[in-house]
Amino acid sequence: MIQPGKLDLTLAKLKKGGAHFEIVIDPDIAIEYKNKKEGVTIKDVLKSELIFADSNKGLKASETKMKELFGTADPLKVAEQIMEHGDIHLTTEYREQIRENKRKRILTLIHRNAMDPRTKLPHPMTRLENAMKEAKVSIDMYQSVEEQIDDVITKLRPILPIKIELLEVQVTIPPQFAHQSYRVIKKYGKIIKDAWGNDGSLVANLELPAGLQEEFLDTLNNLAHGGVEYKVLKER
């Protein structure tokens, strides 16, 4: 139960038609939901299946207003629209923690996958950190690490010569998991070609950073219950 006067709630807020709507959320799950993590639903995000006009005062939103402005008073459907079109209000400390964790993850992946083409050796972590500061790289807390890494490398290249070790790999996904898996495949690498079988199965060739290979395969196999066929076609 949400107690009136509780000021440390994490909220998603939306102003619509002159009215305010708020939901109380779990910040970690809300980030996963915004990143479209498989299996995360709006029910997981919500700490309370109530729509508020002012959560700190315990003031619930008018059902009449919700029907008028959202076309429904169903709290889950209204909450979905608040998450899609509204703003998540997180503490500054929490935002910085998320960004710092993602910054470290990006640095680790670049260090693991990238090399200086002149020396054929990895760039030291300190050199990468200094280059990231010099390039004034900004980390997006809502985008996944995999979605941001190419942009970060592009911004570092004027400062550091970087070459990424890439693999061309092929994955075959059973039909019952193919459509769910396609979004995961796009997130991890650049799809070179894909083919859908008559039974709904998917065969996709993609360009994948070598250091993401194990994580990529684990993610797909978790989704497809171990039914993924995988092979490396070439190194680039």
pLDDT in tens, 138-155: 999 888 888 898 899 999
- Tell me the pLDDT tens digit for each residue of 192-219: 999 999 999 999 999 988 778 888 999 9
Per-residue pLDDT, averaged over 162-173, amounts to 92
Provide CB contacts within 8 A for 2, sequence distance 6+. 9, 24, 47, 48, 50, 52, 55, 58
**The pLDDT of residue 6:** 42
Token pair recorded at residue 23? 């939901």
Token look-up 């497809």 returns 224
Does a structural domain hold residue 143? yes
Q: Are 78 and 71 in contact (CB under 8 A)?
A: no
Same domain membership, residue 33 and residue 74: yes
**The pLDDT of residue 5:** 40
**The pLDDT of residue 122:** 85
Q: What is the domain count for the chain?
A: 3
Task: Tell me the CATH number at 205.
Answer: 3.30.70.240
The yes-or-no verdict on residue 115 having pLDDT over 90 is: no
Same domain membership, residue 180 and residue 155: no
**The pLDDT of residue 8:** 55
- Tell me the pLDDT tens digit for each residue of 43-86: 999 999 999 999 989 999 999 999 999 999 999 999 999 999 99
Q: What is the model's pTM? A: 0.62
Choose the final residue of a domain: 89, 109, 135: 89
Does a structural domain hold residue 127? yes
**The pLDDT of residue 209:** 83
Distance, in Å, from the CA atom of 174 to the CA atom of 164, rounded to the nearest integer, reads 30
The yes-or-no verdict on residue 1 having pLDDT over 80 is: no
> Whole domain around residue 127: which residue ranges?
92-163
Task: Tell me the CATH number at 144.
Answer: 1.10.10.900
Q: Are 119 and 111 in contact (CB under 8 A)?
A: no
The yes-or-no verdict on residue 32 having pLDDT over 70 is: yes
Half-sphere exposure (Cβ direction) of 147: Cα atoms closer than 13 Å: 13
Q: Are 55 and 12 in contact (CB under 8 A)?
A: no
Same domain membership, residue 208 and residue 169: yes
Same domain membership, residue 133 and residue 100: yes
Choose the final residue of a domain: 54, 71, 89: 89
Does a structural domain hold residue 216? yes
The yes-or-no verdict on residue 123 having pLDDT over 80 is: yes
Does a structural domain hold residue 2? no
